[in-house]
A and B are shown apart, each in its own frame.
Chain A
Amino acid sequence: MQELNLLLHGFAVVLTPLNIGLMFVGIILGVLIGVLPGLGGANGVAILLPLTFTMSPTSAIVMLSCIYWGALFGGAITSILFNIPGEPWSVATTFDGYPLAQRGQAGQALTAAFTSSFVGALVAVIMITFLAPLVARFALKFGAPEYFAVYLLTFCSFVGMGRGSPFKILVSMALGFALAAVGMDTVTGQLRLTFGQPELMRGFDFLIAVIGLFGIGEILLSMEEGLQFSGKAARINPKVVWETWKELPKYWVTSVRSSLVGIWMGITPGGATPASFMSYGLAKQMSKNGAKFGTGEIEGVIAPETAAHAAGTSALLPMLALGIPGSPTAAVLLGGLLIWGLQPGPLLFVEQKDFVWGLIASMYLGNLVGLIVVLTTVPLFASILRIPFSIIAPVIIVICAIGAYTVHSAMLDIWFMLGFGVIGYVFKKLDYPLAPLVLALVLGDKAEDSFRQSMLVSQGELSIMWANPLVGSITTLALLLLFWPLIGAAMGALRRRLEA
């Protein structure tokens, strides 16, 4: 029960007036980001990251992680009221949330969505509280080959668990690694892939990529669709909340199942979006009201929201314990750790107890604060969506430009942001996944370092990846996932042949 003591210590660290204030600021900014098209969790945090450079790391992470929770909550508002998912992970929420709002039950749908988000997050945080220290303690024994094997596993699981063309997943990932390699090589000091341009010496910062790919790219996509919002007015009164809360325990099986799906997809870098779809699909298959899904079943709101929030939260476990983020937003937070002068990885649990447990404690508090904030302020945020797109769009582009500039105070970065925006638009339309690109860009240097160190130890023999049972099993699992699309296809063909 050492964890409980440490957790209480964490609460003591977080419960200062400043941190509580930052928590509210973060949640409100986060919901705002979640509601607005073009600003999402990942690039919202990326844009605000430079503002935290002067804060203490604990206050900074409290505010930024609260922005993340806020964005997770906020996505549901637009899905239910306007049938427009503010975030990709709330697409599945529109299926039943919007019909409910159409029937005049927007209050119930929103209450159910927010409460399930809270439940999903809570289950995930409890899991992090007890599992993360164990994983970190285990990971302290890791050497370079083990680390490279875990990186390999992270990236291969994108291929094994992703939908769509495995080639597109691979190319997106490799492109991220290639962009990460641009600039000064940390080991030999040679300039790589700069083509004699001194401006490229700094390399590509992933924050710029995130702002461009997710921010500008999203604005271009929204513009193309010619958004026309026709929303339902929402009012949540305490009576509706209370009535809905009395209903919710009936669906405890769905909640538990969705939380587990979310946690699994969050720790492995599946992410919140596939988690919400998978959870919705499972609920539809297993519920006795399954046939009525899509017409406004409250269960169809609970399932995706619980899973999305559980996944979003548990994506922070590998980031904290191993220094390997499970989602683009977790990757941005990891970038924050480096900037604040903290070394991500298992040693964090030993050397930065205040920071780690402060963060975990703030996850409990932040989600509670979030639930209260969203339940009381929905009408306010819904009215933001009535601001015409021709005002919102230029303001968001201005915010992105400012965000891109503040990262390094470099004008060139604003051009890169625009370029990444076009790439984001084209890639999204052609089903190239963006998450592997961002994660590879963040982890590129570290993955390369651990690869080189492993190769140095073994004098260039790849067999070091199977040198002991631990590293061997991780590597084998990674390769299995990498070739899963091939294996799956082969097995399908075999089965067809057997049946024929």
Chain B
Amino acid sequence: MSDPVPPGEAGSPSVANNHSVDTVVAALLLLIGAVVVFEAWRLGARWTSDGPGAGYFPFYIGLIVCISAVGILVQSLRKASRDSATFVDQEQLRRVLSVLLPATVYVLVIGFLGLYVASAIYIAIFMVVLGKYPPAKSVLLGVIVSAAFFVMFEVWFKVPLYKGSLDPLHFLGY
């Protein structure tokens, strides 16, 4: 399989190192844990008249999240175990975003145009922009893939997929 972008050159500057991302993620997890504990307490984490309350189990789960997150924080803040290896460099981040951002737009577009139309457009644009394919070939492949899914789901398995709020394929009668 060939790829539009060559493998990472060693010279690409680092955007973030493992240690700092680790710390941020652990802090976020601590926050989530705290929210769970708080919510569980509000729901009733104690013994009620008819047994354990709705928050009884989640309360302890939240506590485990908090304790482990603190553990990870301490581990990542301790100097001896600092992991200064690169988490992601500029080139890598660019590549990841070049998939992630279009994917986000794709999901947004599904909401309006439905899965089939959005998928055809997405595959075609992805091929043109990242694969440098000629537009005609890309559009053709996008339409073929979408049509294949349409036949498989709507006709063969009779599982209707999302048609979007604008429903551009309404004329097909499915």
User: Which of A's residues lie within 8 Å of B, judged by CB?
Assistant: 50-51, 54, 82, 165, 167-168, 170-171, 173-175, 177-178, 181, 185, 187-188, 190, 192-193, 195, 216, 219-220, 223-229, 385-395, 397-398, 401-402, 405-406, 409, 411, 414-415, 418, 421-422, 425-426, 429-430, 448, 451-452, 455-456, 460
Contact = CB atoms under 8 A, between A and B. Distances in A.
Given A178-B32, A391-B131, A401 B3 contact: no
A192 B54 contact: yes
B6 A426 contact: no
A167 to B, nearest CB: 4
Contacts of A406: 153, 159, 161
Give the interface size bracket for B toward A: 35 or more
Interface in B50-93: 51-58, 61-62, 64-65, 67-69, 71-72, 75, 87-88, 92
Most buried by A among B8, B92, B103: B103
B122 A192 contact: no
Interface of B: 1-8, 18, 21-22, 25, 29, 32-33, 35-36, 39-40, 43, 47, 51-58, 61-62, 64-65, 67-69, 71-72, 75, 87-88, 92, 95-96, 98-100, 103-104, 106-107, 110-111, 115, 119, 122-123, 126-127, 130-131, 133, 141, 145, 149, 153, 157, 159-162
Contacts of B22: 430
A77 B21 CA distance: 35
A431 to B, nearest CB: 9
A165 B92 CA distance: 26
A175 B31 CA distance: 12
A95 to B, nearest CB: 21
A278 to B, nearest CB: 25
Given A193-B58, A429-B18, A456-B52, 18 more contacts: A54-B157, A170-B71, A171-B68, A178-B32, A190-B43, A223-B99, A226-B6, A228-B1, A386-B1, A390-B126, A391-B127, A398-B123, A402-B149, A405-B161, A406-B153, A411-B162, A418-B104, A421-B100
A405 B162 contact: yes
A401 B71 contact: no
A170 B60 CA distance: 12
Given A178-B32, A395-B145, A415 B107 contact: yes
B52 A460 contact: yes
B87 A168 contact: no
Nearest to A78: B1
List the 6 closest A-B pairs by CB distance, nearest first.
Answer: A390-B131, A167-B71, A171-B68, A394-B126, A229-B1, A174-B64
A220 B54 contact: no
Contacts of B58: 177-178, 181, 192-193
Contacts, number: 197
Contacts of A175: 29, 32, 65
25 contacts: A165-B71, A168-B72, A170-B67, A174-B64, A175-B65, A178-B32, A178-B62, A181-B58, A192-B58, A195-B39, A220-B100, A226-B5, A227-B1, A228-B7, A390-B126, A390-B133, A397-B103, A398-B115, A401-B110, A405-B162, A406-B161, A415-B107, A429-B21, A430-B22, A430-B25
B99 A392 contact: no
Given A178-B32, A193-B36, A401-B107, A223 B68 contact: no
Contacts of A394: 122-123, 126-127
B128 to A, nearest CB: 9
B95 A426 contact: no
A405 B157 contact: no
